Amino acid sequence: MKPSIDKGSLALGTYVYAVLAFIVIPLVIVIPMSFGQNDYLEFPPKGFTLRWYAEYFSSRQWWSATSLSVEVAFLTAICASVIGTAATYAMVRGRGRLATLFQILLIGPIIVPHIALAVGLYLFFQTIGLSGTVPGFVLAHTVLALPFVVFTTTAALGKVDASLEAAAMSCGASRFSAFRLVTLPLILPNVVSGALFAFIISFDEPVVSFFLSGVRYKTLPRRMFEDIEQNLTPIIPAIATLLIVLSIVVLLGAHLMRSRTKN
Amino acid sequence: MAMNREQTAGASIRISRLEKRFGNVSAVDGVDIDISAGEFLALLGPSGSGKTTILMSLAGFEFPTAGNIVIGSEDLTYVPANKRNLGMVFQNYTLFPHMSILDNVAFPLKMRGVAKPERYARAEEALATVRLAGYGERFSSQLSGGQQQRVALARAIVYRPRVLLMDEPLSALDKNLREDMQLEIKRLHAELGITVIFVTHDQSEALTMADRVAVLKDGRIQQIGPSRELYERPANLFTAGFIGEMNFIGVTVESVGEAIAVSLPSGEHWNVPSTSAVDPLQAGQKAVLAVRPERLQIGGEGAAFAFHVKLADIVYAGSALLLIGHLPDGTEIRARLPGASDLSTLTPGATAVFSVPKEAILLYAGGAK
Ligand SMILES: Nc1ncnc2c1ncn2[C@@H]1O[C@H](COP(=O)(O)OP(=O)(O)OP(=O)(O)O)[C@@H](O)[C@H]1O
Ligand SMILES: [Mg+2]
């Protein structure tokens, strides 16, 4: 299991920088377009206006999509980091032989195409009534975000001496207190970093949301697709610009958190 | 430390018929030990002999397959580790790296709901006991290995447990530091009156530190007793070979009576006092004669317990001189003599006569290994 930890953090690092690169390139095109005066997309844009930003911030429709996305992303971050950390703990510290199988299942969503997952979840959620609901979105996004939490926490947990917890227990701490007071603080930066990843993954996740969104509940990416089909005004680049800023801030935050544990 | 005598006194421990199996490996196989209150007991044995498993069963990290453990008057066999109120020191220090030294030492008190001011006062006191007063603000990464282990010791005694368990606490330290810490732990033991169980695979550490030593092999106790007894009259061949250096000579028992007559591979016949026999012996059987290298004397032709050895090597090591030789059947014989001995007549290849004082002879049943 040891080597896969390093491969994991390598893959994660590659992923992070690839994401950053793909964010940087469109900046050059998208950001200027969001300030264009005409109500259709053009590049290079003509004139300069903040009208599209104003429109986004004043539109109830956009706001409700945004607040749904924030809510879902926030809950996803919490669920994924709690479940992911617990699962990592079980895999790293457990003696079970199922650990490897468990690990494969957990990181599976990275390999499975999102569209396949989306169709499956859609059919399943339809029958149990979770489609188009906040719990439905959170559940689906948690599945997608778990691998990232597992990656960020596995490496950190592997470096924490298991006998520290035994020492805490010999001092009178219960098993859970030993984890909460000793192990968790030592891996916390990585857990937070995993939660930030989960937040961003949920916040701009389009494919699963596309299937799960109902008439009333639409996430921001879903709402953007709709607008692209119908209007395609520079409000899309305006929102995209805002998303880019958010992603950069959050991913940098995650990166800083992770480099903190290394010291 | 001003402590209530009743609280600080150690507890007695009774381990009865303890067994622990991992699958089909029998890690501990029917161990009985009675430890009196305030005693210092060392568990000594080769790797895999079950020392850690016994200690972990005492600490509550392993639950035995059979048998029970009574500490004081309480049966703790299946009580979880955090409810046992025992002090424990691990091999690798196990200080919490994100807490200051003071917080580390105060941790057990925090778990027991002691209020902050008292907690810190008592933690300071415990740090002073291990001579680390004033180190409370530091973090473990800023301390040397020996200091870290002393902090671990302070953390283990801060709540005044009646028993202190230690699993090879000094094996990560270098030799000088290890000797300092041995004295430190002895001093603490005397000062606190606590019962100590100390696991080690270093025999000299066990012999110097403990009141009694339990020698383990394959999950069974081979012998338990004071150091001197273990060294001078090992109960069996394993202990004889495990503790210190020993010469083993395969002999044949010729007759058993007032004295035991044996014949040596080098041709001599000895009439050994019957008190030398650790195991009961019968005429005609094979036996092993054991004698410590430092009890061999050079010369003494014609003495009651003299024999001939063909020398192979003479190693001069300052204070001592090591002679290595062989008997006709190939048995290696080692003798340690004072460095100043006059050996001008001895050279490798020569035949030397060694003699042995009768009280240094031990006889065991069985063939030489
Ligand atoms: N968790 C476990 N699972 C399976 N076997 C174990 C386990 N713990 C110990 N054993 C086995 O039990 C036996 C005793 O082990 P133990 O750790 O008590 O030995 P030890 O005397 O402490 O040795 P060392 O000096 O190497 O620390 C060994 O054969 C070991 O392989
Ligand atoms: Mg051990």
Cβ neighbours for A197, distance < 8 A, ≥ 6 positions apart: A145, A148, A149, A152, A251, A254
Task: Write the residue with the smallest CA distance to atom 30 of ligand 1.
Answer: B48
> Taking 70 as the threshold, does the pLDDT of residue A163 lie above it?
yes
pLDDT of residue A19: 83
Q: Which residues of B touch A172 (CB under 8 A)?
A: 82-83, 85, 108, 111-112, 159
Does residue A234 lie in a domain region? Answer: yes
Question: pLDDT tens for residues A21-40?
Answer: 876 777 778 888 888 888 88
Does residue A166 lie in a domain region? Answer: yes
Query: What is the domain extent for residue A177?
Result: 61-262
B346 vs A53, more confident = A53
Q: What is the CATH number of domain B245-365?
A: 2.40.50.140
- Stretch B168-182: mean pLDDT: 88
Q: Among A37-41, A211-215, B275-279, B281-285, where is mean pLDDT lowest?
A: A211-215
- pTM (two decimals): 0.82
pLDDT of residue A204: 84
pLDDT of residue A263: 47
CATH architecture of B2-239: 3-Layer(aba) Sandwich (3.40)
Question: Can you tell me the distance from the alpha carbon of B232 to that of B240, in angstroms, rounded to the nearest whole number?
Answer: 9
| CB nearest B94 (choices: A161, A172, A186) | A161
- Stretch B88-114: mean pLDDT: 95
Q: Average per-residue pLDDT in chain B?
A: 91
Does residue A146 lie in a domain region? Answer: yes
pLDDT of residue B9: 75
> Taking 90 as the threshold, does the pLDDT of residue B67 lie above it?
yes
Round to the nearest angstrom and report the end-to-end CA distance of chain A.
24
| Residue A211 pLDDT grade (very low, low, confident, very high; cuts 50, 70, 90) | confident
Edge-to-edge strand list for the sheet holding B247-256: B269-273, B259-263, B247-256, B286-291, B362-365
pLDDT of residue A253: 85
B26 vs B339, more confident = B26
Does residue A9 lie in a domain region? Answer: no
Q: Return the sign of the alpha-carbon dihedral for residues B286, B234, B278, B333.
A: positive
The domain locations on chain B are 2-239, 245-365
> Taking 60 as the threshold, does the pLDDT of residue B368 lie above it?
no
pLDDT of residue B340: 66
What are the residues of chain B with a beta carbon less than 8 Å away from any beta carbon of chain A?
59, 61, 80-83, 85-88, 90, 92, 94, 96-98, 107-108, 111-112, 152, 155-156, 159, 165
Count how many domains chain A has. Answer: 1
> Taking 60 as the threshold, does the pLDDT of residue A1 lie above it?
no
Does the fold of domain B245-365 match that of domain B2-239? Answer: no
Q: Average per-residue pLDDT in chain A?
A: 86
Rg (CA), chain A: 21
| CATH number for position A117 | 1.10.3720.10
The count of other CB atoms within 10 Å of the CB of residue A117 is 18
Q: Which residues of B touch A162 (CB under 8 A)?
A: none
Closest Cα of chain A to B277: distance in Å? Answer: 45
Model ipTM value? 0.82
Question: Can you tell me the distance from the alpha carbon of A41 to that of A100, in angstroms, rounded to the nearest whole number?
Answer: 50
pLDDT of residue A2: 47
Question: Can you tell me the distance from the alpha carbon of A60 to that of A108, in angstroms, rounded to the nearest whole number?
Answer: 37
Distance of CA B11 from the midpoint of ligand 1 (Å): 27
Residues enclosing ligand 1, CB less than 6 A? B 22, 25, 27, 45, 47-53, 201
> Taking 50 as the threshold, does the pLDDT of residue B3 lie above it?
no
- Stretch B120-126: mean pLDDT: 95
What are the backbone angles phi and psi of residue B136, rounded to the nearest 5°?
-55, -30
Nearest ligand atom owner, CA of B201 = 1
